Protein backbone atom coordinates (compact mmCIF):
# COMPACT_ATOMS: atom_id res chain seq x y z
CA UNK A 1 0.00 0.00 0.00
CA UNK A 2 1.30 3.44 -0.91
CA UNK A 3 1.16 5.77 2.06
CA UNK A 4 3.02 8.79 3.30
CA UNK A 5 1.54 11.03 0.61
CA UNK A 6 0.74 14.70 1.18
CA UNK A 7 -2.97 15.44 1.40
CA UNK A 8 -4.88 18.73 1.49
CA UNK A 9 -8.33 18.55 3.10
CA UNK A 10 -10.63 21.48 2.24
CA UNK A 11 -13.84 21.90 4.24
CA UNK A 12 -15.45 24.77 6.15
CA UNK A 13 -16.64 22.44 8.93
CA UNK A 14 -13.95 22.36 11.62
CA UNK A 15 -15.13 18.99 12.99
CA UNK A 16 -14.86 17.41 9.52
CA UNK A 17 -11.36 18.87 9.07
CA UNK A 18 -10.29 17.61 12.47
CA UNK A 19 -11.67 14.07 12.06
CA UNK A 20 -10.43 13.53 8.48
CA UNK A 21 -7.05 14.98 9.35
CA UNK A 22 -6.69 12.74 12.41
CA UNK A 23 -7.65 9.55 10.54
CA UNK A 24 -5.35 10.34 7.60
CA UNK A 25 -2.42 11.27 9.88
CA UNK A 26 -2.90 8.05 11.86
CA UNK A 27 -2.70 6.18 8.54
CA UNK A 28 0.70 7.77 7.85
CA UNK A 29 -0.19 10.67 5.58
CA UNK A 30 1.08 14.23 5.90
CA UNK A 31 -2.09 16.32 6.11
CA UNK A 32 -2.72 20.02 5.63
CA UNK A 33 -6.14 21.67 5.96
CA UNK A 34 -7.93 24.69 4.53
CA UNK A 35 -11.32 26.15 5.46
CA UNK A 36 -11.83 28.22 2.29
CA UNK A 37 -11.15 27.94 -1.41
CA UNK A 38 -8.72 30.86 -1.28
CA UNK A 39 -6.75 29.24 1.56
CA UNK A 40 -6.62 25.98 -0.44
CA UNK A 41 -5.34 27.80 -3.54
CA UNK A 42 -2.70 29.65 -1.51
CA UNK A 43 -1.51 26.41 0.11
CA UNK A 44 -1.42 24.52 -3.20
CA UNK A 45 0.72 27.29 -4.73
CA UNK A 46 3.38 26.90 -2.02
CA UNK A 47 3.13 23.15 -1.31
CA UNK A 48 2.96 20.01 -3.42
CA UNK A 49 0.08 17.68 -2.59
CA UNK A 50 -0.51 14.21 -3.95
CA UNK A 51 -4.23 14.42 -3.25
CA UNK A 52 -6.88 16.94 -2.22
CA UNK A 53 -10.23 16.19 -0.61
CA UNK A 54 -12.54 19.10 -1.43
CA UNK A 55 -15.97 19.91 0.02
CA UNK A 56 -18.52 20.98 -2.61
CA UNK A 57 -19.83 23.91 -0.55
CA UNK A 58 -17.27 26.38 0.75
CA UNK A 59 -17.92 29.85 2.17
CA UNK A 60 -16.06 31.76 -0.55
CA UNK A 61 -16.57 29.58 -3.65
CA UNK A 62 -18.12 26.38 -4.88
CA UNK A 63 -15.85 23.36 -4.54
CA UNK A 64 -16.40 22.63 -8.23
CA UNK A 65 -14.81 26.00 -9.10
CA UNK A 66 -11.91 25.13 -6.80
CA UNK A 67 -11.55 21.81 -8.67
CA UNK A 68 -10.99 23.65 -11.94
CA UNK A 69 -8.49 26.06 -10.40
CA UNK A 70 -6.54 23.24 -8.74
CA UNK A 71 -6.67 21.07 -11.87
CA UNK A 72 -5.10 23.86 -13.89
CA UNK A 73 -2.50 24.69 -11.20
CA UNK A 74 -1.54 21.16 -10.13
CA UNK A 75 -2.28 18.60 -12.84
CA UNK A 76 -0.56 15.75 -11.00
CA UNK A 77 -2.70 16.13 -7.87
CA UNK A 78 -5.59 13.72 -7.44
CA UNK A 79 -8.82 15.50 -6.47
CA UNK A 80 -11.66 13.86 -4.53
CA UNK A 81 -14.93 15.70 -3.91
CA UNK A 82 -16.62 15.36 -0.53
CA UNK A 83 -20.26 16.39 -0.22
CA UNK A 84 -23.21 16.26 2.09
CA UNK A 85 -25.44 17.14 -0.88
CA UNK A 86 -25.18 14.11 -3.19
CA UNK A 87 -27.04 14.87 -6.38
CA UNK A 88 -26.47 13.67 -9.90
CA UNK A 89 -25.90 17.30 -10.95
CA UNK A 90 -23.16 17.76 -8.30
CA UNK A 91 -21.48 14.51 -9.28
CA UNK A 92 -21.61 15.27 -13.01
CA UNK A 93 -20.31 18.81 -12.57
CA UNK A 94 -17.50 17.62 -10.28
CA UNK A 95 -16.46 15.02 -12.84
CA UNK A 96 -16.52 17.54 -15.70
CA UNK A 97 -14.42 19.95 -13.66
CA UNK A 98 -11.73 17.40 -12.91
CA UNK A 99 -12.74 15.34 -9.88
CA UNK A 100 -11.07 11.96 -9.78
CA UNK A 101 -13.38 10.64 -7.06
CA UNK A 102 -16.53 11.40 -5.10
CA UNK A 103 -17.31 10.70 -1.42
CA UNK A 104 -20.55 11.37 0.45
CA UNK A 105 -20.78 12.79 4.00
CA UNK A 106 -20.84 11.40 6.52
CA UNK A 107 -17.97 9.39 5.11
CA UNK A 108 -17.05 6.04 6.61
CA UNK A 109 -13.40 6.33 7.60
CA UNK A 110 -12.52 2.89 6.23
CA UNK A 111 -14.04 3.92 2.90
CA UNK A 112 -12.07 7.17 3.03
CA UNK A 113 -8.76 5.36 3.59
CA UNK A 114 -9.53 2.74 0.95
CA UNK A 115 -10.42 5.45 -1.58
CA UNK A 116 -7.34 7.54 -0.82
CA UNK A 117 -5.08 4.47 -1.03
CA UNK A 118 -6.65 3.39 -4.32
CA UNK A 119 -6.31 6.78 -6.00
CA UNK A 120 -2.75 7.33 -4.79
CA UNK A 121 -1.79 3.85 -6.00
CA UNK A 122 -3.29 4.61 -9.43
CA UNK A 123 -1.45 7.94 -9.59
CA UNK A 124 1.82 6.27 -8.56
CA UNK A 125 1.52 3.63 -11.29
CA UNK A 126 0.55 6.22 -13.89
CA UNK A 127 3.56 8.38 -12.99
CA UNK A 128 5.84 5.32 -13.09
CA UNK A 129 4.63 4.37 -16.58
CA UNK A 130 5.09 7.96 -17.72
CA UNK A 131 8.68 8.03 -16.43
CA UNK A 132 9.40 4.72 -18.21
CA UNK A 133 8.03 6.13 -21.49
CA UNK A 134 10.15 9.26 -21.05
CA UNK A 135 13.31 7.19 -20.46
CA UNK A 136 12.53 4.98 -23.46
CA UNK A 137 11.99 8.02 -25.68
CA UNK A 138 15.27 9.58 -24.52
CA UNK A 139 17.13 6.33 -25.15
CA UNK A 140 15.61 6.02 -28.60
CA UNK A 141 16.49 9.63 -29.45
CA UNK A 142 20.05 9.05 -28.26
CA UNK A 143 20.35 5.92 -30.42
CA UNK A 144 18.97 7.76 -33.45
CA UNK A 145 21.47 10.61 -32.96
CA UNK A 146 24.29 8.06 -32.73
CA UNK A 147 23.22 6.50 -36.04
CA UNK A 148 22.88 9.86 -37.82
> What CATH number is associated with residue 27?
3.40.50.2300
Q: What is the pLDDT of residue 137?
A: 58
Q: Quickly count: other Cβ atoms within 10 Å of residue 4's Cβ.
A: 10
Q: What is the pLDDT of residue 68?
A: 85
Question: Which domain does 87 fall in, by range?
Answer: 6-147
Residue 132 lies in a domain: yes
pLDDT tens for the chain, 148 residues long, are 445 799 999 999 999 999 999 999 999 999 999 999 999 999 998 999 999 999 999 999 988 889 888 877 777 899 999 988 888 888 888 888 888 999 999 999 999 999 999 999 887 766 555 555 556 556 666 666 777 6
The model carries a pTM of: 0.80
Nearest to 41 by CA among 83, 20, 69, 6: 69
Q: What is the pLDDT of residue 2?
A: 43
Q: What is the pLDDT of residue 70?
A: 82
Cα 5 versus chain centre, distance: 10
Q: What is the pLDDT of residue 130?
A: 54
Contacts 24+ apart (CB under 8 A), 102-111: 103/53, 105/16, 107/20, 107/82, 109/19, 109/23
Residue 1 lies in a domain: no
Residue 44 lies in a domain: yes
Q: What is the pLDDT of residue 67?
A: 87
Instruction: Compute the distance between CA of residue 99 and CA of residue 93 in angstroms, rounded to an integer.
Output: 9
Half-sphere exposure of 10 toward its Cβ, with a 13 Å CA cutoff? 32
Nearest to 113 by CA among 49, 20, 30, 34: 20
Contacts 24+ apart (CB under 8 A), 24-27: 24/112, 24/113, 24/116, 27/3, 27/113, 27/116
Instruction: Compute the distance between CA of residue 98 and CA of residue 142 in angstroms, rounded to an integer.
Output: 36
Q: Do 81 and 67 meet the contact criterion of CB atoms below 8 Å apart?
A: yes
Domain count, the chain: 1
Residue 104 lies in a domain: yes
Residue 122 lies in a domain: yes
Amino acid sequence: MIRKGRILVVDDDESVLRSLSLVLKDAGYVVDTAETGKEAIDKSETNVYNLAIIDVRLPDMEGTKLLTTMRDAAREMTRIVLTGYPTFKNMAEATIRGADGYLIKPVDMNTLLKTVDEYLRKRHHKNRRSRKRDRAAKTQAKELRAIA
